[in-house]
Structure 1
Amino acid sequence: MRVLMVSWEYPPVVVGGLGRHVHELARELTAAGHEVVVLSRRPTGSDAGTHPTVDEQLDGIRVLRAAEDPAHLEFERDMIGWTLAMGHAMVRAALTRLADWRPDVVHAHDWLVAHPAIALADVLDAPLVATLHATEAGRHAGWLSAPLNRQVHSVEWWLAHRADTVITCSRSMRDEVATLFDLDPEPIAVVHNGITPRNWRVGAEQVAAVRARYAADGAPLLLYFGRLEYEKGVQDLLAALPRIRRRHPGTRLVVAGAGTQQEFLVAEARRHRVRRSVTFTGHLPDAELAALLAAAAAVVLPSRYEPFGIVALEAAAAGAPLVASTAGGLGEVVRNGLTGLSFAPGDVPGLAGAVGVVLDDPAAAARRARAARSRLGTDFGWTAVAADTAAVYARTPHGGPVDLERPKIPTGNVFGPPDAP
């Protein structure tokens, strides 16, 4: 099949996990014999003078990267205006450079490319598949309080209803999308994210150096790595740390990553009187992260909202014992008692108890870690992910253009009773 994949990030422009997902999916689809064109963008804040539109072949994939338009728009200050301009640039780049090439399917990745993906599916007369990697309501615990939240939600609704097939990365996300956008869950396809094999092996000297740096006295070392955003639940891990340290004195925590909530989390560490026991490292190079993973007694993922949980797969690939909440896809990725230990999102005593079980019995934790790693090749390999995605393409009906009414925006918490405070 000929596939036009539309994504607002694609390496080297990477914001989160979506860019890597699209990259690996495109590579595997190409390896399987499909013809893939990726339509993406140039870096934020650039223009046609510094970063012109490019049309290149990489790993057998045709990558068309649209230059930013001249208008002075900033993602941080005017997200919707910037997103619309990005979509306009993508549409112009595709229509002026694809010539006679026509896709058998257009695949949109998330709401930021809804406008160009819908426009191109209409103009090029191709079925539209949309992967919803997360939702605005989910990221904000069910609330759509601000105008921006409601704007994003309405674009997600539009993409979900215009798409001929919707894909989600987990069963929990399928249920969330169906509930939020009033869709029948049955036709929504569930295709898990994949894990890219990488060399996590490190020498004993590197592990010893990490332990000397973060836990020189031989005390247990816990690790969180990922984005520092409220929905990731790091504040719950900080709240649980005093309980963990009472049961296992001296336990230290390393928080690796960056995000908008770093100052809040530092303040939370002070409030819980564990600031000296927590190290915030910022984003770490792979080599340093690999050494931390090898040294950690447990990787703790306390997410309150998690569509899938790719970090859990990366920790499993490194052989690290896992303690994770059951939020969203994490409940499917981590099998409680078999490949890790789980607790309910926001349950601070449950979190502390699960970590305590790991620290009490390292041998059992290591057995669970080995079981987690053994699942990766069969359940989360990119070859299988690409085959499942191609199967979705093949069975997607061609509904054609459709004009939709503006959706009604919920006034309360969309995951709770209408009169929730």
Structure 2
Amino acid sequence: MRMLRILLLTWEYPPRIVGELAFAVRDLSEGLRKLGVETIIVTLADSPVALGVEDKGIGNSGIGSLQIIRVGNPVGTHIHILTWAMTLMTEFERVSAEVYYRLNGNIDLVDAHEWLCVTAALNLKDSLNLPFVFSIHSTEAQRSLGSKGPLSQAIKSIEAIGFGEASRVIVGSQEKKIHLISDYGVPPEKIDIADAFRAEEVFRIYASVTGNIKEPGLPRG
């Protein structure tokens, strides 16, 4: 008997803070731990001294846990954000695969936050047969104010691939759901709203994907 175990991919997690994503993922992961979920975060290290594994230990339920694996980009110099993102994701994939095999394949799903983590999640989905959940906090269409430039178009294409390949797409509001339907053509039935990414609501979305967990804090059968 074990709890739901997830891989969560994010390029921001404290102490690396670029925007609100870092705090949203931190609060979500802490909330999932309290619900008994075994959460393994793969994220970018804020500096070379931050590389490695941080174990947050057992949650209040006595069965959840939170582990943070911080990695660096294997390529040191970049001329473009896309090369930076793609090379970083190769390291995310490598570390995630190591975790998967160390745990004898006992990973229930991968949750990728934002477009930067899509390629890693897709490769893990295809090579390890892991369900893929795509969590969207903001989109390129919103950030770029509708730019038609090549960089924005490339990022939008990555987002669109993620929307198409994901089992579920999670957003934090009804407004964001409407945006994905109207601007990206995502089927409404594929989008779940987890208000402000509250852990209890995200947990139930994970449950609908895995089909194994019915209520927070209950071990798998």
TM-score, normalised to structure 1's length?
A: 0.45
Alignment of 1:200-239 (within 5 A): none
2:201 partner amino acid: D
Contact kept in structure 1, 2:170 and 2:192, CA below 8 Å: yes
Report the Cα offset of residue 97 of structure 1.
Answer: 4.4
Alpha-carbon distance between aligned partners in 1 of 2:149 and 2:210, rounded to the nearest angstrom? 36
The partner residue of 1:115 within 99, 116, 119 is 119
Alpha-carbon distance between aligned partners in 1 of 2:169 and 2:210, rounded to the nearest angstrom? 12
1:58 partner amino acid: K
Report the Cα offset of residue 148 of structure 1.
Answer: 0.5
In structure 2, the residue matched to 1:24 is 27
Contact kept in structure 2, 1:160 and 1:166, CA below 8 Å: yes
Report the Cα offset of residue 125 of structure 1.
Answer: 1.8
Q: Compared with structure 1, are the counterparts of its residues 98 and 52 closer, same or farther at alpha carbon in structure 2 (3 Å cutoff)?
A: farther
Report the Cα offset of residue 16 of structure 1.
Answer: 0.6
Question: Where does structure 1 lack aligned partners over 5 or more consecutive residues?
Answer: 195-384, 399-421
Alignment of 1:335-374 (within 5 A): none
SS at match of 1:82: helix
- Which structure: greater strand fraction? 2
Contact kept in structure 2, 1:4 and 1:105, CA below 8 Å: yes
Alignment length (residue pairs) = 199
Q: Compared with structure 1, are the counterparts of its residues 122 and 171 closer, same or farther at alpha carbon in structure 2 (3 Å cutoff)?
A: same
Contact kept in structure 1, 2:109 and 2:210, CA below 8 Å: no
Alpha-carbon distance between aligned partners in 1 of 2:204 and 2:184, rounded to the nearest angstrom? 24
Structure 1 outlier segments of 4+, above 6 Å: none
Alpha-carbon distance between aligned partners in 1 of 2:130 and 2:96, rounded to the nearest angstrom? 14
The partner residue of 1:130 within 113, 128, 134 is 134
In structure 1, the residue matched to 2:183 is 180
Deviation sequence 1:310-361 (CA, Å, 0-9, x none): xxxxxxxxxxxxxxxxxxxxxxxxxxxxxxxxxxxxxxxxxxxxxxxxxxxx
The partner residue of 1:64 within 46, 63, 69 is 69
Alpha-carbon distance between aligned partners in 2 of 1:13 and 1:71, rounded to the nearest angstrom? 18
SS at match of 1:193: helix
In structure 2, the residue matched to 1:42 is 45
Deviation sequence 1:237-294 (CA, Å, 0-9, x none): xxxxxxxxxxxxxxxxxxxxxxxxxxxxxxxxxxxxxxxxxxxxxxxxxxxxxxxxxx
Report the Cα offset of residue 189 of structure 1.
Answer: 0.4
2:81 partner amino acid: M
Contact kept in structure 2, 1:51 and 1:67, CA below 8 Å: no
Q: Does 1:99 align with 2:101?
A: yes
Report the Cα offset of residue 58 of structure 1.
Answer: 2.0
Q: Does 1:9 align with 2:12?
A: yes
In structure 2, the residue matched to 1:55 is 53
Alpha-carbon distance between aligned partners in 1 of 2:67 and 2:210, rounded to the nearest angstrom? 25
SS at match of 1:72: coil
1:90 partner amino acid: F
Contact kept in structure 1, 2:108 and 2:210, CA below 8 Å: no
RMSD over aligned Cα atoms:
1.9
Alpha-carbon distance between aligned partners in 2 of 1:126 and 1:386, rounded to the nearest angstrom? 21
1:5 partner amino acid: L
TM-score, normalised to structure 2's length?
A: 0.83
In structure 2, the residue matched to 1:389 is 202
Report the Cα offset of residue 64 of structure 1.
Answer: 1.0
In structure 2, the residue matched to 1:139 is 143
1:129 partner amino acid: V
Alpha-carbon distance between aligned partners in 1 of 2:42 and 2:9, rounded to the nearest angstrom? 5
Report the Cα offset of residue 84 of structure 1.
Answer: 0.4
Question: Where does structure 2 lack aligned partners over 5 or more consecutive residues?
Answer: 58-64, 212-221
In structure 2, the residue matched to 1:154 is 157
In structure 2, the residue matched to 1:409 is none
SS at match of 1:39: strand
Contact kept in structure 2, 1:103 and 1:124, CA below 8 Å: no
SS at match of 1:62: strand
Alpha-carbon distance between aligned partners in 2 of 1:98 and 1:112, rounded to the nearest angstrom? 21
Report the Cα offset of residue 397 of structure 1.
Answer: 6.4
Contact kept in structure 2, 1:52 and 1:67, CA below 8 Å: no
SS at match of 1:394: helix
Report percent identity of matched pairs.
26
Alpha-carbon distance between aligned partners in 2 of 1:176 and 1:70, rounded to the nearest angstrom? 35
Deviation sequence 1:346-385 (CA, Å, 0-9, x none): xxxxxxxxxxxxxxxxxxxxxxxxxxxxxxxxxxxxxxx1
